[in-house]
Amino acid sequence: MTNLRVLRVELEAPVCSFRYPHFLVGRQLTFDMPPPATIFGHVASALGEWPDPASFRFAYWCSVLGKGEDLENQQIITPGSGRFSVDRQTYAKTLDATVQPVRREFLLGVRLVLYLDRLDFAEAFLQPRFPVVLGRSQDLACYTSIEEVTLEQSDRGYFEETLLPADFRKRTARGITVLMPRYVGPPPLREPTFASFIVLRDWVYCGSPEEGDRFGARQLLHLQNEPLTLWIDPESPEKYGVHRALWFHSFVEKA
């Protein structure tokens, strides 16, 4: 197969945050890019139902204008005791709540270009079931383009502002390795699974072995008996004579 028809969804959000799930108090950090679980939730929101996580894959590139920080109030709920009165009526107190300010990081000017290998999802993005958000429920976003595109197979391209699998670490020292939520199951259990990924903010080049070392540390290493076959978006910006490469991720373990 030398071509692949996919759905390309472009959206923009003025502000969004992808909280590190294991930080509950203190400063709330954000991932620099949406975790796979966030992508799955976004797709489910557009569909209005919980899709089979094994039924589709995704790739994306994500750019941001900057990162900021602000104070945000958290409502801390604890079991209550005693009684309270309202309009001369006395009631048992079951909960106590306190307001706790917390520092939260957020991303500014986010643009996400999402590729899905499910063309039949197009109608859901044209008429999403729920409000379009990226990250938290208050992080409103909007779609700017929804279309089918044809990707081309190649051994040359560049990765930039994207998410790569952790096993790319043996090919490059670029990017930051992070543990991200890969998938969060349906209620009531909402059981999460995690996986390691490389958040690549800058770019790396992938060429054929015959080209040699063109870009030093920015060039992906070629591993013996592990050739790389890339999917290229021919409509993406061209850099050093090649187009943007995409790597498709799954929400579940490979069979």
Buried b (16+ CB within 10 A) or exposed e, 13-29: bebbbbbbeeeeeeebb
Could you tell me the pTM of the whole model? 0.90
Strand runs labelled E in the chain: 3-16, 58-63, 66-79, 83-86, 89-92, 95-116, 142-154, 157-165, 176-184, 192-206, 230-232, 245-246
Q: State the residue for tokens 């054929």.
A: 208
Beta bridge partners of 193: 183
pLDDT of residue 255: 41
> What are the tokens at 152?
């081309």
Q: How far apart are alpha carbons 1 and 240 in whole angstroms? A: 26
Judge whether 125 and 165 are in contact, CB under 8 Å: no
Q: Tell me: domain 3-72+103-246, CATH 1.10.10, correct?
A: no
Give the domain ranges of the chain. 3-72+103-246
Q: Cα dist. 136→49, 58, 140, 176 in Å?
A: 18, 20, 8, 23
pLDDT by residue for the chain (255 residues), tens digit each? 589 999 999 999 999 999 998 876 678 899 999 999 999 999 999 999 999 999 999 999 999 999 999 988 878 888 888 888 888 889 888 888 888 888 999 999 999 999 999 999 999 999 999 999 999 999 999 999 999 999 999 989 999 999 999 999 999 999 999 999 999 998 888 899 999 999 999 999 998 877 878 898 899 998 878 888 899 999 999 999 999 999 999 999 764
pLDDT of residue 110: 97
pLDDT of residue 213: 82
Cβ neighbors of 45 (< 8 A, separation 6 or more) are 128, 129, 130, 131, 132, 133
